[in-house]
């Protein structure tokens, strides 16, 4: 069984790859070179309907009642199989995103394994809530909550960390006994499709994992979220799309879990170890070419060390190695598409209009003929902007940040929280008490001190404000992917 026979990336429905319709192909483009790598078969409404129907049938045929130990054993086999086919996943991730091989290996594909293994552990260890209620006459009632699968779950994911974010949802959903219909981003169809091969190989029953390819509105995304057979939607993507999806599912009152955009702040106090802080900030601004929802785009720096941090960060940005993704020394890949680069460049223009000083970057790098049609962009830093400027208010989602000075702790907290988003923050200080104090005051889902992107998959993850609804991770994932029925027995 193969998903990419003859250059087509196929849909996977009811345990089998679907023969592509040549009239419904769209391009998979390598963001590094601009080359067309394959054709992707866009699912029509009938195919999405088949996927949802197959998922329901799989639940009814026994998947929902499979013992947890069988489901978790299957997740572990899936992780082992991804490990065996590791380099194929790395190649698929690179084809989808153009990201450097080192990152694809160390972050994206490595995390896919960890997602499957962690959620197998979490599901295997999960207990159930129970309470004793005192009744009149000295009797008691036993209450216990039985957790049942949510049902058919629509999983809609973006293009920035496609395999990582997909498995972060699919692993707990399957561990809880759900069937899923996955809609990967139109930009990054390959890894979700390869995962279908792996899940079939390890014996996941037909219909439990389905993949439908396509776009959002008037395409597979909308067909899926409007389908009456969907019991819940877990979505990662932009806040605007999340808001739209929420309206779409509202008439049928389905649960949603939303992991949305961010405009994340870093606060750097003047007691930091400069070198350590610069290493952390470089990672937090430029990882994945700034295309991580958690990336820092606003850096508030104590005035005493503002020039040191600005100069140091610009130097580090200039040391990043852009270029051939297959070279293990490459640190920084392209943006996902020409369209996204246009969006990032529009912020370059806005920064200029707001009177920013460009510390480094601000343009398109020349990486030679081979990469001339890729979506490359220079890592870029600005000073001279304030929270009033659009560059500090809207999510840009590129390798960019604005540095702004502050004088007091209170001012830094107010500046960092002055946003409609609320995903992540990082605080850099050698004062332990201040670190805790400031981190707790951030209006975000995750607040780091002297680190960034350190993830404990058992802890809750999500955002406030425009950054999302609900939490996933550990127990929180089990809660979203199940419906409890409380049983009350008078004893
Ligand atoms: P996007 O919202 O454009 O698309 C996300 C997914 O939704 C894609 O699969 C897309 O095809 C689908 N979609 C679009 N319109 C739809 C519709 N009307 N109905 C159903 N599905 C639809 O986001 P993107 O550009 O792919 O990803 C970047 C965004 O994702 C950024 O805002 C980033 O911050 C966010 N993100 C958030 C997290 C998080 O954990 N909070 C993680 C990664 C990315």
Dist CA 367 CA 388 (whole Å): 35
pLDDT digits (tens, 9 = 90+) for 272-317: 999 999 999 999 999 999 999 999 999 999 999 999 999 999 999 9
Q: Taking residues 33-43, what's their average pLDDT?
A: 98
112 contacts: CB under 8 Å, gap ≥ 6: 79, 82, 89, 163, 164, 167, 191, 195
Q: What CA–CA distances, in Å, run from 482 to 42, 146, 152, 234, 477?
A: 30, 9, 11, 13, 9
ipTM of the complex: 0.97
- Compute CA 233 distance to the chain's CA centroid, rounded to the nearest angstrom: 15
Sign of CA dihedral 449, 408, 467, 477: positive
Task: Read off the pLDDT band of 484 (50, 70, 90).
Answer: very high
The closest-lying atom of ligand 1 relative to the alpha carbon of residue 336 is 25
Full strand arrangement of the beta sheet holding 130-134: 130-134, 140-149, 482-490
Q: How far is the CA of 237 from the centre of ligand 1 (A)?
A: 2
pLDDT digits (tens, 9 = 90+) for 203-245: 999 999 999 999 999 999 999 999 999 999 999 999 999 999 9
Tokens of 298: 């606003």
Dist CA 346 CA 490 (whole Å): 65
Q: How far is the CA of 160 from the centre of ligand 1 (A)?
A: 9
Nearest residue by C-alpha to atom 8 in ligand 1: 185
Number of Cβ atoms within 10 Å of the Cβ of 203: 11
**What pLDDT shows up at residue 244?**
97
pLDDT digits (tens, 9 = 90+) for 398-415: 999 999 999 999 999 999
Q: What CA–CA distances, in Å, run from 347 to 53, 390, 394?
A: 44, 8, 9
Share of the chain above pLDDT 90, in %: 99
Q: Tokens 């082992």 — which residue? A: 80
Q: How far is the CA of 156 from the centre of ligand 1 (A)?
A: 8
Q: Please compute, for residue 341, the number of CA atoms within 13 A of its CA located in the half-sphere on the CB side.
A: 20
Q: How far is the CA of 12 from the centre of ligand 1 (A)?
A: 21
Number of Cβ atoms within 10 Å of the Cβ of 231: 20
> 179: closest CA among 167, 170, 189, 190?
170
Q: Using a 6 Å cutoff on CB, does residue 42 contact ligand 1? A: no
Contact 281, 309 (CB under 8 A): yes
Q: Using a 6 Å cutoff on CB, does residue 444 contact ligand 1? A: no
pLDDT digits (tens, 9 = 90+) for 57-89: 999 999 999 999 999 999 999 999 999 999 999
**What pLDDT shows up at residue 6?**
83
Asked if residue 420 has pLDDT above 80, the reply is: yes
pTM over 0.90: yes
Nearest residue by C-alpha to atom 15 in ligand 1: 216
Q: Using a 6 Å cutoff on CB, does residue 395 contact ligand 1? A: yes
Share of the chain above pLDDT 70, in %: 99
Asked if residue 472 has pLDDT above 70, the reply is: yes
Burial class of 491 by CB neighbour count within 10 A (0 to 12, 13 to 18, 19+):
exposed
Number of Cβ atoms within 10 Å of the Cβ of 418: 15
Asked if residue 4 has pLDDT above 80, the reply is: no
**What pLDDT shows up at residue 459?**
97
Nearest residue by C-alpha to atom 30 in ligand 1: 237
Radius of gyration of the chain (CA): 23
**What pLDDT shows up at residue 5?**
63
Asked if residue 268 has pLDDT above 90, the reply is: yes
> 398: closest CA among 272, 324, 290?
290
Q: Using a 6 Å cutoff on CB, does residue 185 contact ligand 1? A: yes
461 contacts: CB under 8 Å, gap ≥ 6: 259, 445, 446, 455, 471, 472, 473, 476
Dist CA 48 CA 64 (whole Å): 21
Q: Using a 6 Å cutoff on CB, does residue 97 contact ligand 1? A: no
> Rounded to 5 degrees, what angle do the CA atoms 327, 328, 334 make?
65
> 380: closest CA among 319, 314, 445?
314
Q: Using a 6 Å cutoff on CB, does residue 154 contact ligand 1? A: no
> 180: closest CA among 138, 118, 229?
229
Three-class SS of the chain:
CCCCHHHEECCEECCEECCCCHHHEEEEECCCCCCEEEEEECCCHHHHHHHHHHHHHHHHCCHHHCCHHHHHHHHHHHHHHHHHCHHHHHHHHHHHHCCCHHHHHHHHHHHHHHHHHHHHHHHHHCCCCEEEEECHHHCEEEEEEEEEECCEEEEECCCCCHHHHHHHHHHHHHHCCCEEEEECCCCCCHHHHHHHHHHHHCCCCCCCEEECCCCCCCCHHHHHHCCCCCCEEEEECCHHHHHHHHHHHHHHCCCEEEECCCCEEEEECCCCCHHHHHHHHHHHHHHHHHCCCCCEEEEEEEHHHHHHHHHHHHHHHHHCCECCCCCCCCCECCCCCHHHHHHHHHHHHHHHHCCCEEEECCCCCCCCHHHCCCCCCCCEEEECCCCCCHHHCCCCCCCEEEEEEECCHHHHHHHHHCCCCCCEEEEECCCHHHHHHHHHHCCCCEEEECCCCCCCCCCCEECCHHHEECEECHHHHHHHCEEEEEEEEEC
Dist CA 105 CA 123 (whole Å): 26
Asked if residue 2 has pLDDT above 60, the reply is: no
The whole-chain average pLDDT of the chain stands at 97
Contact 254, 396 (CB under 8 A): no
């Amino acid at each position: 069984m193969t998903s990419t026979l003859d250059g087509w990336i196929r849909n996977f429905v009811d345990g089998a790859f679907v023969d592509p319709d040549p009239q419904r192909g769209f391009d998979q483009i390598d963001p590094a070179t601009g080359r067309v790598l394959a054709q992707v078969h866009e699912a029509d409404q009938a195919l999405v309907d088949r996927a949802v129907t197959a998922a329901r049938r799989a639940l009814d045929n026994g998947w929902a009642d499979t013992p947890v130990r069988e489901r978790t054993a299957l997740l572990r086999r899936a992780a082992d199989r991804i490990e065996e086919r590791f380099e194929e996943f790395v190649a698929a991730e690179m084809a989808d995103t153009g990201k450097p091989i080192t990152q694809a290996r160390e972050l994206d594909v490595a995390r896919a394994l960890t997602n499957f293994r962690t959620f197998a552990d979490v599901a295997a260890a999960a207990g159930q809530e129970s309470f004793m209620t005192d009744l009149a006459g000295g009797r008691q009632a036993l209450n216990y909550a039985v957790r049942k699968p949510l049902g058919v779950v629509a999983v809609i994911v973006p293009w920035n960390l496609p395999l990582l974010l997909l498995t972060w949802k699919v692993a707990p959903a399957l561990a809880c006994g759900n069937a899923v219909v996955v809609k990967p981003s139109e930009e990054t169809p390959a890894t979700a499709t390869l995962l279908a091969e792996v899940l079939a190989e390890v014996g996941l029953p037909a219909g439990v994992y389905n993949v439908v390819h396509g776009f959002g509105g008037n395409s597979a995304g909308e067909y899926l979220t409007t389908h009456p057979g969907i019991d819940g939607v877990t979505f990662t993507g932009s806040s605007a799309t999340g808001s739209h999806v929420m309206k779409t599912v509202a008439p049928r009152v389905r649960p949603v879990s939303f992991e949305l955009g961010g405009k994340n702040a870093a606060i750097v106090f003047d007691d930091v170890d400069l070198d350590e802080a610069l290493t952390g900030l470089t990672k937090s601004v430029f990882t994945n070419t700034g295309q991580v929802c958690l990336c820092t785009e606003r850096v508030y720096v104590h005035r005493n060390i503002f020039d040191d941090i600005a100069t140091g960060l610009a130097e580090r940005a200039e040391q990043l190695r852009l270029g051939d993704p297959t070279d293990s020394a490459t640190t920084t890949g392209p943006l996902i598409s020409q369209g996204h680069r246009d969006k990032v460049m529009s912020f370059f223009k806005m920064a200029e209009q707001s009177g920013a000083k460009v510390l480094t970057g601000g343009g398109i790098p020349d990486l030679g003929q081979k990469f001339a049609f890729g979506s490359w962009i220079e890592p870029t830093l600005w000073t001279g902007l304030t929270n009033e400027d659009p560059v500090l208010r809207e999510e840009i989602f590129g390798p960019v940040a604005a540095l702004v000075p502050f004088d007091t702790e209170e001012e830094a907290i107010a500046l960092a929280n002055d946003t409609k988003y609320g995903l992540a923050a990082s605080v850099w200080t050698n004062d332990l008490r201040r670190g805790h104090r400031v981190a707790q005051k951030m209006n975000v889902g995750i607040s780091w001190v002297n680190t960034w992107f350190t993830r404990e998959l058992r802890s809750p993850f999500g955002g406030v404000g425009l950054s999302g609804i609900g939490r996933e991770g550990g127990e929180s994932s089990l809660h979203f992917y199940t419906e409890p029925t409380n049983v009350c027995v008078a004893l």
